[in-house]
Amino acid sequence: MKLSVRRVLLYYLPLAINLVLVAYLVWQLSQVTSFERDSRVFMFAVLYGLGGLVVAVSGVIAFLHATDQIGGSRAYYALALFNMIIPTASLLAMLYMT
Give residue-wise pLDDT tens across range 12-47.
888 888 888 888 777 777 777 766 666 666 776 777
pLDDT in tens, 65-76: 888 877 778 888
Q: What is the dihedral of CA 34, 38, 43, 45, to 10 degrees?
A: 110
pLDDT given for residue 1 in this prediction: 65
Q: State how far the Cα of 1 lies from the Cα of 62, in Å rounded to an integer.
A: 19
The closest alpha carbon to 98, from 21, 18, 41, belongs to 41
Cβ contacts of 80 within 8 Å, gap of 6 or more: 10, 11, 58, 59, 61, 62, 65
Read off the pLDDT band of 54 (50, 70, 90): confident
pLDDT given for residue 77 in this prediction: 85
68: left (phi over 0), alpha (psi -120 to 50) or beta: left
pLDDT given for residue 36 in this prediction: 67
Average pLDDT over the chain, rounded to an integer: 79
pTM, rounded to two decimals: 0.71
**What is the crossing angle of helices 41-66 and 74-97, to 10°?**
150
